[in-house]
Amino acid sequence: MSFEKFELHAKVFAGVQELGYIRPTPIQLESIPPIMEGRDVMGIAQTGTGKTAAFVLPILQRLMQGSRGHVRALIIAPTRELSEQTHKAIGQLGRRTELRSASIYGGVSIQGQIKKLRDKVDIITACPGRLLDHINRGTVDLSKIEVLVLDEADHMFDMGFLPDIRRIVKHLPAKRQTLLFSATMPDDIRVLANDLLQNPVNIKIGFTAPVESVTHRFYPVQMESKTALLKDILDKTETESVLVFTRTKSRAKSLARQLDSSGYKVTSLHGNLTQPKRQQALDGFRDGRYEIMVATDIAARGIDVTRISHVINYDMPSTADAYTHRIGRTGRASKTGDAFTFVTGQDVVLAHSLKKVLGEKLQYHSVDGLTITMPLTATPAPARRNNNSNGRKPDKSRRPFTLSAKTNRKPVQRSFTSENRQSWAH
Ligand code: AMP
């Protein structure tokens, strides 16, 4: 099926064409028609499935009718990045519509936002905290809202935003359309959905196309060999853009610094950065100036960089849901991607539950001298020579570790082209 079937307004359809979308994704197929009918929708879908356009297109369609210059649609998102990204998607899809949107989030001056809101906008994408600020100052009028979208609701719950959302909703007209999107459905979100949505259409897009298009690989490794393993993978793997996840801000910062001093084009994204610095990092990663971005979960929420070929979990995520979100950064839309995860002895429990979810799609890999089999036992060994021939600075920090792999497998090939990839199912 093509986008013509939705019978979008010509100016909205023009945006679809300009972005080069040919076929609607499953979430778009299922949710655009009921949203266009004015129904409430509860969508269980990960990022990367095309869910932004799934709600933005019907919103643009609706706003083509009726008066302009007051806020008629509100999209609430957990992070500034996601808010900015949705604002950008509205700008792209709605380029011909002349509808105006503003992105509202904390960490930047409120004055610029007040001015933008005074200049009259039709759509707001916002993070809850700063939106409440505007409500309290009387600098935003939400009394004409026709559509409310709660995006990545489970993440808003994780971040403690649900009370803020309930406060915000009190300022909206009771008669409105409400759409809620979430990758998972914890009880608190279900309760919120019951309170806010009326007779919703339930749509569930599970492990679908984008996830299907991602390969999952685990590398059992000692904690202290992670950086050496990462560099080995970066040197030996054909990549476009690589997103590396660490557990903490300080680990993101220090890993980025180490990679930078080894000659990699790297930036980092974490909560300690100012908004301009975050934007600079994201822009540089998006336009290819930086090949690698080291990020924490919160910062990387909603990052939409289509060229991400590899997500590397340098630190294991804390839950299976977090894993899903991280790998949703690659294999976006119809592209393919690889998700590599470093597994230490402390991660075995989660590794086992992920293995259950991923089944045969999961492979375990070893790299000669750097990875191990569980249980983890390490013995120091002489440093190996580094035979890099890719023009990058030699890696002086490679750690002299060979790990006592309890296996009689032959040494594993060290290059990851499709012909000589070696993997085995655990
Ligand atoms: P999202 O899940 O909304 O973050 O979208 C993920 C990526 O898919 C974004 O880069 C979108 O521009 C892209 N996308 C969304 N819908 C389509 C489509 N129908 N065809 C191709 N790409 C799409």
- The residue contributing the CA closest to ligand 1 atom 6 is 48
Number of alpha carbons in the 13 Å side-chain half-sphere of residue 165: 30
Share of the chain above pLDDT 90, in %: 57
Which residues line the pocket of ligand 1, CB cutoff 6 A? 21, 23-25, 28, 47-53, 304, 306, 332-333
pLDDT at 172 over 90: yes
- Give nearest CA residue, ligand 1 atom 8: 333
* Ligand 1 atom nearest residue 25's Cα: 19
Q: How far apart are the CA of 53 and the centre of ligand 1, in A? A: 7
Q: How far is the CA of 412 from the centre of ligand 1 (A)?
A: 37
How does 385-410 read in b/e, with b if 16+ C-beta sit within 10 Å?
eeebeeeeeebeebbebbbebeeeee
Q: Is the dihedral of CA 129, 134, 138, 144 positive or negative?
A: negative
CA distance 166 to 152: 16
Please list the residues that pair with 371 across neighbouring strands.
221
Whole-number pLDDT of residue 273: 85
Residue nearest to atom 11 of ligand 1 (CA): 50
For ligand 1, the distance from its centroid to the CA atom of residue 49, given in whole angstroms, is: 6
pLDDT at 418: 27
| 20-45-16 Cα angle (round to 5) | 15
Residue nearest to atom 19 of ligand 1 (CA): 24
**Per-residue model confidence as pLDDT tens digits over 40-64:** 999 998 777 789 999 999 999 999 9
Residue 260 has pLDDT above 80, yes or no: yes
* Residue 333 CA to ligand 1 centre (angstroms): 5
For residue 149, the cross-strand partners are 75, 179
Query: Which of these CATH numbers, 3.40.630.30, 3.40.50.300, 3.30.70.3270, 3.40.50.2300, describes 214-370?
Result: 3.40.50.300
State in Å: Cα 354 to ligand 1 middle: 26
Protein residue with its CA nearest to atom 20 in ligand 1 = 21
Q: How far apart are CA 149 and CA 299, in angstroms?
A: 21
Q: What is the mean pLDDT of residues 145-157?
A: 94
Nearest atom in ligand 1 to the alpha carbon of residue 24 is 19
CA distance 380 to 220: 17
Mutate to test the pocket of ligand 1, among 46, 214, 304, 326 (most ligand atoms within 8 A of CB): 304
**For ligand 1, atom 15: residue with the closest CA:** 50
- Res. 419: pLDDT tops 90: no
CATH number for region 3-204: 3.40.50.300
Per-residue confidence at 94, pLDDT binned at 50, 70, 90?
very high
Give me the residue spans of the domains in the chain. 3-204, 214-370
> If you average pLDDT over every residue of the chain, what do you get?
82
Of all protein residues, the one whose alpha carbon is nearest to atom 22 of ligand 1 is 333
Does 3-204 match 214-370 in CATH topology? Answer: yes
